[in-house]
């Protein structure tokens, strides 16, 4: 309800006509409306509408400019080049959880999907004609190349790459092991070099493609007990930004779409052990994996680039706040992940 009120109050399509009615319409139209409002409030209401209209226009202009920037300064974009029944999507970590639900959403639109994972397909994905499974350890460059060759041979060059695979192991910094660090960085971050190196060249040749990255709200804030995870997710944001720059300025191919998704705390098997701690810390109920998957699929099907923030909208501006405000915000997360919890965050 609060969101509906906010969107209405700041919509120039609502405040503009109201302002025109109360301040600019002929008396025969305006007066019957004003008679229903006490005279002492007339000036205040009209002044408030002027401010809301101006702020709404600024908000709308900001959204248009942001969309323009997200789409690499392209005003005109030929979406007709996307024929979903002919597209091939690759999704890492697509056998279970959020990834499996994204697969279902894409297949429902006729897209052929190659699931790349070390785990076999979950029951919800078995038996679908447009789902192909390729066993692959994405931490191995050779294994990614082998799987990519098999995908191209079986389905053709993919036009959509969704880097969704991720793990998280709760650990204090002093307790982190070399093996654990290598595992989380290889899966969450380094593997994205391997998959992009395999599938981007075909996209460049066709000047068409979409690369999506599943990050986390942890990209914006360091949380006690998850320094390893937060570092990989912050690294994904840097990877996404650098990829955008290279597509524009190195490969002269702004037509290729890029998206990065920032889910909040999401209910998956990876968060099951820390859910009680989150509840005790006063966090709202965990987000549904289907909610995240729906947002990801919508972005792919819209054929648009952008950043999709599914947690608190103000999180990206945290680092622009004064240090004392930043640290107060981080302090509130101190008990979210216990050091003895062997699990991951969203």
Residues 290-319 pLDDT 10s: 999 999 999 999 999 999 999 888 888 888
- Report residue 273's pLDDT band, with 50, 70 and 90 as the boundaries: low
Domains by residue range for the chain, with CATH: 2-70 (no CATH), 79-331 (3.40.50.720)
Give every CB contact of residue 80 below 8 A, 6+ residues apart in sequence. none
Other C-beta atoms closer than 10 Å to the C-beta of 206 total 13
Kindly tell me if the per-residue pLDDT of 105 is higher than 60.
Answer: yes
Give the pLDDT of residue 341.
Answer: 43
Residue range 26-41: average pLDDT?
Answer: 86
- Report residue 335's pLDDT band, with 50, 70 and 90 as the boundaries: confident
Establish how many alpha carbons lie within 13 A of residue 53's alpha carbon, considering only the half-sphere containing its beta carbon. 15
Q: Would residue 229 show up in a list of annotated catalytic residues for this protein?
A: yes
Give the pLDDT of residue 80.
Answer: 85
Kindly tell me if the per-residue pLDDT of 255 is higher than 50.
Answer: yes
Give the pLDDT of residue 294.
Answer: 97
pLDDT digits (tens, 9 = 90+) for 150-168: 999 999 999 999 999 999 8
Kindly tell me if the per-residue pLDDT of 331 is higher than 80.
Answer: yes
Catalytic residue among 72, 233, 240, 257: 233
Check: CB of residue 333 under 8 Å from CB of residue 224: yes
- Report residue 73's pLDDT band, with 50, 70 and 90 as the boundaries: confident
Catalytic residue among 72, 101, 229, 240: 229
Kindly tell me if the per-residue pLDDT of 323 is higher than 90.
Answer: yes
Establish how many alpha carbons lie within 13 A of residue 24's alpha carbon, considering only the half-sphere containing its beta carbon. 8
Give the pLDDT of residue 281.
Answer: 67
Q: Greatest CA span in the chain, whole angstroms?
A: 78
Kindly tell me if the per-residue pLDDT of 269 is higher than 80.
Answer: no
Which DSSP string corresponds to 267-334?
-STTTTTTHHHHHHTTPPPPBPHHHHHHHHHHHHHHT--EEEE-S-TTGGGGGGS-HHHHHHHHHTTT
Q: Would residue 233 show up in a list of annotated catalytic residues for this protein?
A: yes
pLDDT, averaged across the chain? 90
pTM: 0.87
């Amino acid at each position: 309800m609060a969101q509906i009120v906010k969107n209405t109050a700041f919509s120039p399509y609502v405040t503009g006509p109201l302002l025109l009615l109360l301040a600019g319409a002929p008396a025969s139209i305006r007066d019957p409306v004003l008679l229903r409002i006490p005279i002492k409030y007339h000036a205040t209401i009209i002044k408030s509408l002027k401010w809301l209209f101006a702020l709404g226009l600024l908000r709308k202009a900001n959204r248009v400019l942001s969309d323009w920037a997200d789409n690499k300064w392209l005003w005109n974009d030929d979406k007709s080049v996307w024929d979903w029944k002919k597209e091939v999507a690759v999704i890492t970590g697509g056998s279970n959880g959020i990834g499996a639900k994204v697969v279902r959403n894409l297949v429902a639109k006729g897209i052929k999907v190659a699931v790349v994972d070390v785990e076999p397909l979950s029951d919800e994905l078995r038996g679908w004609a447009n789902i192909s499974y390729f066993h692959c350890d994405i931490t191995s460059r050779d294994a990614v190349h082998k799987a990519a060759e098999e995908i191209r041979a079986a389905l053709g060059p993919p036009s959509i790459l969704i880097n969704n695979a991720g793990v998280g192991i709760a650990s204090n910094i002093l307790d982190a092991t070399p093996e654990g660090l290598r595992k989380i960085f290889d899966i969450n971050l380094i593997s994205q070099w391997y998959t992009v190196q395999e599938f981007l060249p075909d996209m460049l040749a066709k000047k068409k493609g979409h690369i999506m990255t599943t990050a986390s709200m942890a990209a914006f804030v360091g949380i006690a007990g998850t320094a390893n995870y937060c570092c990989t997710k912050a690294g994904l944001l840097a990877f996404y930004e650098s990829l955008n720059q290279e597509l524009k300025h190195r490969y002269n191919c702004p037509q290729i779409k890029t998206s990065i998704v920032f889910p909040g705390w999401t209910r998956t098997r990876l968060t099951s052990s820390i859910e009680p701690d989150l509840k005790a810390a006063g966090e709202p109920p965990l987000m549904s994996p289907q909610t995240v998957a729906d947002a990801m699929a919508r972005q792919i099907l819209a054929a648009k680039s952008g950043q999709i923030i599914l947690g608190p909208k103000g999180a990206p501006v945290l680092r622009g706040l004064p240090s004392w405000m930043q640290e107060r915000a981080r302090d509130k997360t101190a008990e979210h992940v216990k050091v003895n919890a062997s699990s991951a965050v969203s």
